[in-house]
Structures are given as C-alpha cells and as structure tokens.
Structure 1
Amino acid sequence: MPWSLHAVLFRDLVLGVLGTLAFLIDLGADLWAASQYVLSGRYLWAALVLALLGLASVALQFFSWVWLRTDPTGLHASQPPGQRLALLHLLQLGYLYRCVQGLQQGLLVWRQEVPSQFDLDYADFLSLDISMLRLFETFLETTPQLTLVLAIVLQSGSTEYYQWVSICTSFVGISWALLDYHRALRTCLPFKPLLGLGASAIYFLWNLLLLWPRVLVVALFSALFPRYVALHFLGLWLVLLLWVWLQGTDFMPDPCSEWLYRATVATILYFSWFNVAEGHTRGRAAIHLGFLLSDSLLIVVTWATHGAWLPSGLLLQVLLPVAGVCSLLGLALRLVYYRWLHPSCHWEPDRVDGTRGLYSLEGRRLPQNRRMVQLAKNFFPRDRDKSALPWKGEVNGVL
C-alpha cells in the first residue's frame, strides 16, 4: 500500500474514533446534567433535557433504519439479521452500531496490504451515512441542549460545574459535526480535492461564528419568556418547513420519511443554513440569513426592554456586543469562502444519478451513496460553462 494512502486511511480511522468518542462524551454529559437537575429538585429542567435527548434519538434511529432497509440488496453483508437490527434500533443503539461498523471497516482497509476498491468504497459509503446522522443529531439534540443550558444559566445567574461540561462538550460536538459533514461532501465529488487546513478553518469558523450568536439569542428568549419559547420555535419552524417543501426535496425513499427529513431540515434552518435544492443558492441563502437576523434582532430588542428580569443582565451586556461582532466576522468569512474557496463542479453524465458508472454489487463495485451525492450536488454548484474547470483556490494549494 502506498504510504500516502496508508496515512489517509489511518487519519480517517482516528477521526472515526474521535467522532464516536465525542458522541459518547456528549451523551454522558447530558445524562449527568439531567441527573444533577433531579438531585437538586429541578425536575422540569431534567425532563426537558431527557425529552430533547429522546426525541432526537428516535428520529436518528428512524433515519438509520430506513436507509439500511432501502440500500441495495446484499450491500451490508456483515450486518445482523433483520430482527436483531430492528431490535438494535428500538433500543436506540442504531447510530452507535453504525459507528462501530464504520470503525470495523476502517480498521479492515487500514490493515490490508493492498485494500480492494470495493472495501475502500464501502468504508466511504458507511462514513457518509455516519456524517449525515451526526449532523442530524447535532441540530436535533446537541444544539437545542446547548440552548437550554444557556437559558438555564441566564435565568439562574450562576453556572454549575456540570453545566460547564455540557456547554463545552456541546460546542465540540457541533464544531466536529459541521466540519465532518463538509469533509464528507467532498468525498462525493467526481474529482476529490483534498480539504486543506485553510479552507477547513474558514468553513468551520464562519459556521461557528454565525451559529453561536443565534443560539445565544434563542437562549435569551427562552430565559425571558420560558412559556412562549415553544410558540416562537413552532411559528418559525412551520414557516421554514413550508419553505423546504416548496423547494421540492426528494431525499428519502417514501413520502412519509421525506416529511421527517423536511421537518429535520426545518429544525436545522432554525439555527443555521442548510441547502436542500440544486441551483444557484445565493438568493435563498440571503433570504434565510435575513430571516434569522431579523428574528434575532427582535429578540435583542425584547431583552433591551425587559433586561431587569434576568439576574445575569450584566453578563448579557458583554455577551450581546461580542455576539454582534462574531456575526459580522462570520458573515465576512462566509463571503470569503464562497468567493474564493467554494468549488464549482463538473458533474459527469454517468454521475448525475449518483452512481459510479454501471457497476454492480456482483462485480464487487459499489454504487455511490445516493443520499450524500444529492446533497453534494446541492452544496457544490455546477460549472456554468459545463467544463471541468480548475477548483477555486486549488492552484494556490488552499484546498
């Protein structure tokens, strides 16, 4: 095996281990926080933590199960029988099983002297699903949990040690999921440029700098008006769900599961940008950004008129200006990324349907992961002149 390929496979294996550990640590921190709320008599807070955890886990298991059931017959030869697999998902262990399966496949190809193309492609196939599930888990559970913890801190005016652990693990989990998802999309491209340190850092920073101020203002609204935050979320979520539906998504294999996907995307859009349709997305991204900024501004104005209600008002007077600066910096980095670092792609005719040519499983050649290929097409635009132009930034080694 060439040394460069061996190094890449080892890196992917290490990233897989770290991603699994990050998920387990974040889960442990949430359960620890819930137990501490119960011990201190704050049963409502504990119930909210467990409810967010449970709802996200159920959605995650459903996505995992549907994808496994609709994958090509014979693709997952080493997976348990159907009943055992269903039991794993009912026990909320489906995502963890996928992580273990991905690590086993990654270890297999790393230990082979000359790994087969099928084994390499299958490792990519598994890692792509894991990345997508990790992103869903991030915005269905980790981000709302972070918002809840910040709201509790703002309302109480103090921070316990277990809350600091929960905040730190949530930020690490969100950051990891965003970067891992972007890296996964790159592996779906017809030509796979390496994701360099510069492009990775800028993509990671603009997402994080725009996300955490949004989380802060939603937490602020939750602390000020805990009885109305559900109405606020539901109102915006319904608008975003309608917007996703109007874009005509076609991600899941049946209409029922497609609506769950749209509901999940609407939840992501409540906090951050997520592209679900092909074509030029500049206008849609601008509309979404303006929508979130307007809502966040209204929340800040609400705090300005009711700031005395919170014991942590002095802290907010520092955090909100910092959040505003971070938003401006994040927007600037986002413009830099899309202007100079975001690649356009020439999608070959035999890749339009998301498969790698006409290969079959019988020939030991693996179809590409159609789900992630479609998202990659949404994220990376086609070249306007239909030719395979050089990647933006590639000549300078940025990517």
Structure 2
Amino acid sequence: MPGSSRPALLWDLVLGVLGTAAFLLDLGADLWAAVQYALGGRYLWAGLVLALLGLASVAMQLFSWLWLRGDPADLHGSQPPRRCLALLHLLQLGYLYRCMQGLQQGLLVWRQEEPSEFDLAYTDFLSLDISMLRLFETFLETTPQLTLVLAIILQSGQAECYQWVGICTSFLGISWALLDYHRALRTCLPSKPLLGWGSSVIYFLWNLLLLWPRVLAVALFSALFPSYVALHFLGLWLVLLFWVWLQGTDFMPDASSEWLYRLTVATILYFSWFNVAEGHTRGRASIHLAFLLSDSILLVATWVTHSSWLPSGIPLQLWLSVGGGCFLLGLALRLVYYRWLHPSCRRWEPEPDQVDGARSLLSPEGYQLPQNRRMTQLAQNFFPKAKDGAASPVKGEVNGVL
C-alpha cells in the first residue's frame, strides 16, 4: 500500500468519528430543547420537536433496513443475524449500528499494512450508505428543527442557551452533511477527482449561505402566520413530489419502497437542490433555484402587506437584509466554485493514468468487488459527463455487487 494512502485512510476514519459525534451532539441538543420546553409548560413546542425527531428516525431506519435486505446475503460477512438487525432498526438504532460498522471497517483497513482491494471497496460501500442516511436525516429532522427554533425565537424575542446550541449544531450538521454527500458521490466515479481543501471550503460556504435565506424565509412566515405554515409546506411539497415522480426515479430495491425515497426527496427539495435523474443538471438546478426564490419572494410580499414587525417587536427589514445579503453572497460563491474551483476544471483534472475516485470494480485476482449501485447511479446523475468514465450499474441488478 502506498504510503500516501495511509494518511488518507486515517483522515477518512477521523471524518467518520466526527460525523457520528456530530449526529449524537445534534440529537442531544434536540432532546435538551424538548425537555426545556416541557418543563416551561410549552408542550406544543416540545411535541413538535419530538415529532420531527421520531418521523426522521423512522424514515432513516426504514431506508437502512430496506437497503440491508436488498443487499446480497454474503456481502456483509459476519454481521448479526437478520432478526437482530431487524430488532436494532425497530429500536431506532439501525443508523448508529451502521456508523459503528463503518468505523470498525475503517479502523480495520487503516491498521492493515496492505489492505485488500475488497476491504477498501467494502469500506467505501459502507461509508456511502452512511453519507446518504446522514443527508436524509439532515433534511427530515435537522433543517425542520432549525426552522422551528428560529420561528420560536423570532416570535418570543429571546433565545435561551439550549436554543443557541441547537442552532449552531444544526447549521454545522446541515453543511457537513451536504459536503460529505458531495464528496461521497465522487468516490463512485473514477473520472472525477476528489474535492480539494479550497473547493471544499467554498462548497461548504455557498451551501450554508444559500440554505440560510430559505430557512429564514420559512421561519419568519411561521412566526407571523403559525396557522398557515403547514398548508404552505404541504402545497409546495405536493408540487415537488409530482416533479420527482415525473423524473422516474429508480433508487430503491422495489417500486413500493421507491415512494419512500420520493417522499424524502420532495422534502429535501423544499429547502435545497437535490438531483435525482439523468439529464441537464444545471438547467434543473436553475429551475429549482428560481422556484424557491419566487416562493420566498411571495412570502416576503405576504409579510410586508400584513405587518412590518414580528410579534416580538423585531423589524422585518433587519432580517430581510440579512437574508438577502446571504443569498447574494452564496450565489456569488456558487458561481466562483463552478467557474474556477470545481474539480472538473482543467487545472484540477488528474493525469490520464491517475484514478482518484472509486476503487476498480475488478481486483487484480479478477473477482468482483462491492459497488454501491444506488449511490453510483446518483453520482452518474449528478455528474452526467463522467458517466462514460465510470462503470455503469446494470439495470435490474440487486444493490451491492454487480
């Protein structure tokens, strides 16, 4: 094993530990907030926090279980019996089990002097699933929780310590999940180099800055019109769900579970862009950005025509200025990223004989290695120009090994 690979494996292991710690920290912050709301007699707020936690956890366990059930039986080696795995997921511990499994595999590979190609590919397989589950949890629980706590603060006019902790952990968790997911996609395609430090920082910042105005828009609307925010979400969510259905997604093992994926993607699209199908990614991303921007402008018009002050007495103009400034800065950084820092730019491309992405599907001995078909398919949708350079998943094959 080349010496330069060991620091990379150690760094991946450290990132895995930090990601798991961030998840537990965010979970602890949410439970802390729910307890404080209940102790203060604000049972509706406590109930909403716990409801979001519960729904997101159930969805994560379903995804994890369906993927495990769809993977080849001999792929995961010496894992617990299927009944034990089912019980872990029923107890809402499936995601943490996957995190521990990924860390154990990463540690095993790092400690080996020359790890096998199968062990390296299997490590990638596990980390890709964990990255996808983390992204789902982020937009099913963390982002709605952030919107809720901001609405509570804007309506009450004061912020407690546990609320500031929740805001900080939510923003970091959201940006981390988006960056980790984007980096994970690149490990699926050998024609795409990994993100460098400079492009990673810019990617982190523009995602954070573009997401903040959207969350702020919904939070302000919730603070001013708490009775109508559910109708607003449901109306937009149905439109986005219809759009996802029209694109004919094929991510899950079967047609019935595919609807779970579509429901989740529609929720993600309510807050941020997420590509699910082949085609002109830039065009669809622009349409989605214009759609969310138009919706946010309509929300702003609603605020201005009904009130210029929040219930707490805070002027809306202050928050609108902050949100608008973040949006413009985030849009500028996004243009900078795709114009000069994107790894597909000429000066970031590897030499023809370099492969910085996924492990080769065939080892020197000739046997097939694990490939995460579901994530590879998403990567090819996100990077259509790299499709010819990557190994395409075979239609109709089970997830896991081709």
TM-score normalised by structure 2 residue count = 0.89
Equivalent residue for 2:33?
A: 33
Equivalent residue for 2:372?
A: 369
Equivalent residue for 2:100?
A: 100
Letter paired with 1:166: G
2:4 partner SS: helix
Q: Once the 2 structures are TM-superposed, how far is the Cα of residue 148 of structure 1 from its aligned partner?
A: 0.3
Alignment check: 8 A CA contact 1:185 1:372 kept: yes
Equivalent residue for 1:282?
A: 282
When the two chains are superposed, the root-mean-square deviation of aligned CA atoms in Å is 2.3
Equivalent residue for 2:61?
A: 61
Q: How does 1:101-180 map to 2 (within 5 A)?
A: 101-180=101-180
Q: How does 1:6-17 map to 2 (within 5 A)?
A: 6-17=6-17
Q: Tell me the distance in 1 between the aligned counterparts of 2:369 and 2:202.
A: 33
Equivalent residue for 1:299?
A: 299
Alignment check: 8 A CA contact 1:277 1:378 kept: yes
Equivalent residue for 2:256?
A: 256
Letter paired with 2:109: V
Equivalent residue for 1:382?
A: 385
Equivalent residue for 1:209?
A: 209
Distance 1:75 1:387, change over 3 A: closer
Unaligned runs of 5+ in 2: 350-357, 391-402
1:182-229 CA distances to partner (integer Å, 9 max, x unpaired)?
110111112352310111112111111110110001011111111111
**Aligned residue-pair number:** 379
Equivalent residue for 2:332?
A: 332
Letter paired with 1:104: Q
| Overall identity of the aligned pairs, in % | 80
Letter paired with 2:382: F
Q: Tell me the distance in 1 between the aligned counterparts of 2:220 and 2:334.
A: 25
1:301-351 CA distances to partner (integer Å, 9 max, x unpaired)?
222233356234436432221210111121122223233444559xxxxxx
Alignment check: 8 A CA contact 1:143 1:170 kept: yes
2:279 partner SS: coil
Q: Which has the higher contact order (CA 8 A, sep 6+)?
A: 2
Letter paired with 2:73: T
Equivalent residue for 1:222?
A: 222
Moved more, 79-88 or 317-326: 317-326
Q: Tell me the distance in 2 between the aligned counterparts of 1:162 and 1:247.
A: 41
1:120-162 CA distances to partner (integer Å, 9 max, x unpaired)?
1111100000000000000000000000000000111110111
Q: Tell me the distance in 2 between the aligned counterparts of 1:311 and 1:98.
A: 44
Alignment check: 8 A CA contact 2:58 2:92 kept: yes
Moved more, 136-145 or 308-317: 308-317
Alignment check: 8 A CA contact 1:117 1:365 kept: no
Q: Tell me the distance in 2 between the aligned counterparts of 1:320 and 1:161.
A: 24
Moved more, 70-79 or 190-199: 190-199
Alignment check: 8 A CA contact 1:58 1:92 kept: yes
TM-score normalised by structure 1 residue count = 0.90
Alignment check: 8 A CA contact 1:356 1:367 kept: no
Q: Tell me the distance in 1 between the aligned counterparts of 2:164 and 2:315.
A: 16
Distance 1:313 1:255, change over 3 A: farther
The reply to whether residue 74 of structure 1 matches residue 77 of structure 2 is no
Equivalent residue for 1:391?
A: none
Equivalent residue for 2:239?
A: 239
